[in-house]
Amino acid sequence: MTHKHHGHAVNQHGHNNQSEGGHHNHHAHMVADFRKRFWVSLVLTAPVVALAPMIQSLLGLEEALSFTGDSYVQFVFASIVYFFGGWPFLSGLRNELGKRRPGMMTLIALAISVAYFYSTAVVFGLVGEVFFWELATLIDIMLLGHWIEMKSVMGASAALEKLVKLMPSEAHLVGDDGSTRDVPVSEIHHGDRVLVKPGEKIPTDGMIVDGRSTINEAMLTGESKPAEKGEGDEVIGGAINGESAFTMEVRRTGGETYLAQVIEMVRAAQESKSKTQDLANRAALWLTVIAITVGSATLVTWLLIGKPFDFSLERAVTVMIIACPHALGLAVPLVVAVSTSISAGNGLLIRDRTAFERGKDLDAIVFDKTGTLTEGRFGVTDIIPLGERSEEELLRLAASLESQSEHPIAEGVVRGARERKVEFPAPSEFRAIPGRGAEAVVDGIRLRIVSPGYLREHDMVVTDERVRTVADQGKTVVYLIIDGAVEGAIALADIIRPESREALERLKAMGIQVMMLTGDAEAVAKWVSEELGLDDYFAEVLPDQKASKIKEVQSRGLVVAMTGDGVNDAPALTQADVGIAVGAGTDVAIESADIVLVRSDPRDVTAIIELSRATYRKMVQNLWWATGYNAFAIPAAAGVLYPLGIVLSPALGAVFMSLSTVIVAINAKFLRIERLPTDTHHVVTERDE
């Protein structure tokens, strides 16, 4: 009767292999079972308490409630409570002893069994005092505590179930004649065309072939802003279509889809072993041994002091109940479940829990440059006037000419103008200059945009120091020739992501060194390093050398994370103490990583480390509470406070034990609403559940 997360493999349709929601139904069944046993036991406890001599004496109702044979009636009700309400603990005892790993169920079952059989013996002739009422209330409290705990566990692991529910069950299949018919998602295949209507969920991964719309991928990626997508853009199954219908071609189905892979990652993460969890399990086992030992010693000690057997036994039973290591056993799993749910809901997918925990100890993070710190596309970085025209005018003319070209440099110039909101007219008489540039007429002006090679071929020399500086930085420079004179230069480079600066500043504030690894030229790497204020960088690194560079950093005595997105990053991701792949990267990179970031946003690297540190703090808080509580509670239950007139009954011990467990569960939940050390941009926000 353990509460650890039981995952089931995802089948080809993205659902659990177990019948109809297996995993969720398993937890739901356990919650319902504890709820039913609690209410039935609570009702049956009423007559047990009413017939208890101690309770009657306290309330002065001996004459009103006692009658001949009342002890047998109490025995019958208590027996039902013991066997029906106590069954989860009795079966748990059998399971734990069968595995030779006594734990919390062993303690509870031992305590209620000692109480039940001793009281039964008293009813049938043994001299002593019955405490059926303590037994019944103890079982009630334990069932209530377990019911609350199971609801917490089920709520914390609900991210998996929400992901499964994201996928629609039907799709509008488009026939060769353009007609549509509704079919189960399981019947669509690669290459099929599917119509997605406004407001509907996208049935599987694919590419838009007709139409344009905004797509809300928030539940999948954590990105709150809807993305505008049109022909040629990929869409993810489970995302929600916006205002327009579109037709998509199916690219991935079943277990291949992004959502199915995410579900599998979350499931594996929730099941992966945690070093802190191992520590908690060992502590729980030792606490069980200590409780049984102290309980036995308590019984013997009080008997030797001369106390009655029933008093001595009650002290021993209380020790075994109050020392139940349930809080300790849940201290880590609940935090793990909550942090996994938070991370999955925010596009931070943890594949290896142990590596995630190592995130709190990181000393250095090595970033791949292209596509991680930079956008992986050309953009305008500098506009250098060499004549009378302004920067904006030069960009306007250049964008007009380049708007007719499909060259990456041309696309970068046009994109630069649009980003700066510079409007430009359509050119005329456009003509490409093979290998050297292009020319056209813009606003009646004959304009050429050419490479440095063109200038050399035509003996045109530019001596401006600003041009030399950007060229030395490894940037690509093109020149604008107007009416035969060089009027300006435009420098382009792989654009540094605006969010990279924020991410690296936060990492440095956390005491983590930031480095970069790239196959680009020394000049390019140096420029990016200086722009971002990196602690170190490695340039012109061949793919097979990346892992050795990570080893080199590790040899400095640093705990190192690697962040990358390409096939050539896979060995380095594996070599690093923590491998982080960005979700826009390749399947190979993702498979080699310990953590996958859905967005290509370097701030998510900061977010995952902050979440790792916050998760560890919560685990430590819970472990300290659980062990510290028991360090005080066990001696109190054994009777060390007896000289002061303070005696804990088994039922009161159960109240304190359950309170400890509930506190641990609530503390784990606080991980959702506590703010992390720095103000993360999206991680610990409470999502609609």
Residue 543 makes CB contacts below 8 A (sequence gap 6+) with: 519, 567, 568, 571
Helix (H, G, I), strand (E, B) or coil at 493: strand
User: Rounded to 5 degrees, what angle do the CA atoms 372, 378, 379 make?
Assistant: 100
Tell me which residues are annotated as active site. 368
CA–CA gap between residue 68 and residue 79 (Å, rounded) = 19
CA–CA gap between residue 589 and residue 223 (Å, rounded) = 22
Q: What is the CA 252 to chain-centroid distance, rounded?
A: 24
Helix (H, G, I), strand (E, B) or coil at 147: helix
CA–CA gap between residue 162 and residue 687 (Å, rounded) = 12
153 φ/ψ angles, rounded to the nearest 5 degrees: -65, -45
Query: What are the angstrom distances between the C-alpha of 399 and each of 19, 340, 455, 479?
Result: 59, 47, 20, 13
CA–CA gap between residue 538 and residue 556 (Å, rounded) = 15
SS3 content of the chain, % helix, strand, coil (to 5): 55, 15, 30
Question: Which DSSP string do the residues of 227-291 spell out, in sequence order?
Answer: EEE-TT-EE-TT-EE-SS-EEEEEEE-GGGSHHHHHHHHHHHHHHS--HHHHHHHHHHHHHHHHH
Which residue, chain included where needed, has tokens 């995302």?
A: 239
Supply 577's token pair.
């103490």
| C-beta of residue 580 within 8 angstroms of C-beta of residue 561 | yes
- Torsion 476-482-484-487 (CA) sign: negative
CA–CA gap between residue 325 and residue 247 (Å, rounded) = 57
